[in-house]
């Protein structure tokens, strides 16, 4: 049993950022601070902390190695090192082998290096972060929380890609992502809506810089919009979402575009940014859509594609009981939610305008057959809970109703 002062550090490494949070063991787990090192590799990188200590300052961090050392130096100076009990890492891709959260070992790290080809935009940096913490704090346990885990048991028909079957043996299939967010959301849905709601026909829409949807029944993933990589599905801030595969050959012939250049385009130059030609930020686009037709078209395309996926997943589920919006756009953009839901009355989706404008927890009209909710997602808290479970870190006893509502979500994290 760990002491009540035990602290869990969560790490979420991206291609140009490191986001982190610190939790103190207890019931509930208490977030003492969170922060980020953003724009790694650029001249205007920043180090920001919010919580028990607050600051934001410019940094010179040319790469993730320098950035993680800045973070570890700061942790050693400004936190109780003896209280730091474990580190939990969000790992985007575990391939076909790794999906259960587990303690990181040298053998796992070696195999994850081999899986970097599955997600070259995220995996190398995420592995680097685990290695850096091991070298600085060799006795500190680290846990990998795989973002594909929630979707691991999707039906075979949803996992299978329609390409030559030999690639499936190499691990090429639909994996899905945002699993930590979805596991948290299902747990929260059980808490606020009851177990019957969480066990029903649910569509979860995690709409942020990265955006995806998941069809869930009996608390389990039935299908999801992202696929072998996080580039697939709906258009995102800079990712294209689904495209005609023939575009690869067309651009190779007409512009001599290489596979690497195509990957760069669809991940960092497409989506809202590519269509608007001005911004990848939904707030900016909404602000300028009345003056800029490109901005208006980017917003319209995003809403239209999300609407299509809702319709498709309602068909896959055989109907719909609950629709949940989460993520930066899903939680904070009433206009976007309204446009997505417009015309979906035939599915039983009807919004109440004032509730939606106020970002209330339930935004559906009383007459609507489908309950539409806005739920704040918390991947960092999900990671911290998972670390406690994997390492057997005991926290104070939960009230029975909270324990029941959280158990399904934590078991799938």
Active site residues: 147
The 10 Å CB-count burial string (b at 16+, else e) for 131-150 is bbbbeebeeeebbbbbbbbb
For 217, the 3-state DSSP assignment is: strand
Please report the DSSP string for 160-200 in residue order: --SS-GGGGGGT-S-----HHHHHHHHHHHHHHH-HHHHTS
User: Do the strands 46-51 and 30-38 form a parallel or antiparallel pair, or are they unpaired?
Assistant: antiparallel
| Tokens 């140009």 belong to residue | 16
Of 321, 269, 21, nearest to 145 by C-alpha is: 21
List the beta bridge partners of residue 87: 9, 142
Q: Where are the alpha helices (DSSP H) in 289-357?
A: 293-317, 327-332, 334-341, 353-357
Can you spell out the DSSP letters for 244-259?
Answer: -THHHHHHHHHH---H
Measured between alpha carbons, how far is 383 from 8 in angstroms, rounded to an integer? 9
Q: Which tokens sit at 91?
A: 């790992």
Element (H, E) at 107: helix 106-114
| Residue labelled with tokens 């039983």 | 348
CA distance 205 to 226: 12
Q: Is the dihedral of CA 150, 411, 103, 41 positive or negative?
A: positive
Say whether 153 sits in a helix, a strand or coil. coil
Beta bridge mates, 217: 201, 220
Torsion over CA: 212, 183, 39, 333 (sign): positive
Nearest C-alpha neighbor of 2 from the set 83, 79, 76, 81: 83
């Amino acid at each position: 049993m760990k002491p009540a002062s035990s602290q869990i550090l969560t790490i979420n490494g991206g291609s140009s950022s490191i986001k982190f949070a610190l939790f103190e063991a207890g019931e509930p787990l208490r977030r003492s601070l969170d922060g980020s090192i953003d724009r790694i590799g650029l001249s205007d990188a920043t180090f920001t902390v919010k919580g028990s200590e607050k600051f934001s300052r410019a940094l010179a961090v040319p790469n993730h190695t320098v950035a993680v050392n800045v973070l570890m130096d700061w942790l050693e100076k400004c936190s109780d090192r003896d209280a730091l009990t474990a580190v939990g890492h969000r790992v985007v891709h575990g391939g076909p082998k790794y999906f259960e959260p587990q303690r990181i070992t040298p053998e796992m790290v070696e195999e994850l290096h081999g899986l970097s080809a599955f997600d070259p935009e995220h995996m190398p940096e995420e592995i680097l972060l685990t290695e850096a913490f091991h070298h600085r704090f060799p006795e500190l346990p680290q846990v990998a929380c795989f973002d594909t885990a929630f979707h691991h048991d999707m039906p075979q028909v949803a996992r299978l890609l329609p390409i030559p079957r030999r690639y499936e043996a190499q691990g090429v299939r639909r994996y899905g992502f945002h699993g930590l967010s979805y596991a948290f959301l299902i747990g929260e849905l059980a808490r606020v809506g009851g177990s019957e709601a969480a066990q029903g026909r649910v569509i979860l829409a995690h709409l942020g810089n990265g955006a995806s949807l998941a069809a869930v029944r009996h608390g389990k993933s039935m299908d999801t919009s992202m696929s072998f990589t996080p580039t697939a599905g709906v258009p995102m801030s800079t990712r294209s979402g689904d495209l005609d595969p023939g575009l690869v050959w067309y651009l190779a012939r007409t512009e001599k575009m290489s596979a690497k250049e195509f990957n760069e385009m669809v991940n960092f130059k497409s989506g809202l940014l590519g269509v608007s030609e001005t911004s990848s930020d939904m707030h900016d686009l909404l602000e300028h859509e009345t003056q800029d037709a490109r901005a208006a078209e980017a917003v319209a395309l995003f809403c239209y594609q999300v609407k299509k996926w809702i319709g498709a997943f309602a068909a896959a589920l055989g109907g719909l009981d609950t629709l949940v919006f989460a993520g930066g756009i899903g939680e904070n953009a009433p206009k976007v939610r309204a446009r997505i839901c417009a015309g979906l009355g035939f599915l039983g989706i009807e919004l109440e305008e004032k509730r939606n404008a106020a970002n209330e927890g339930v935004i559906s009209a009383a007459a609507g057959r489908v309950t539409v909710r806005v739920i704040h997602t918390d991947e960092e808290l999900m990671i911290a809970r998972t670390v406690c479970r994997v390492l057997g870190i005991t926290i104070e006893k939960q009230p029975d109703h909270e324990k029941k509502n959280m158990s399904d979500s934590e078991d799938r994290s």
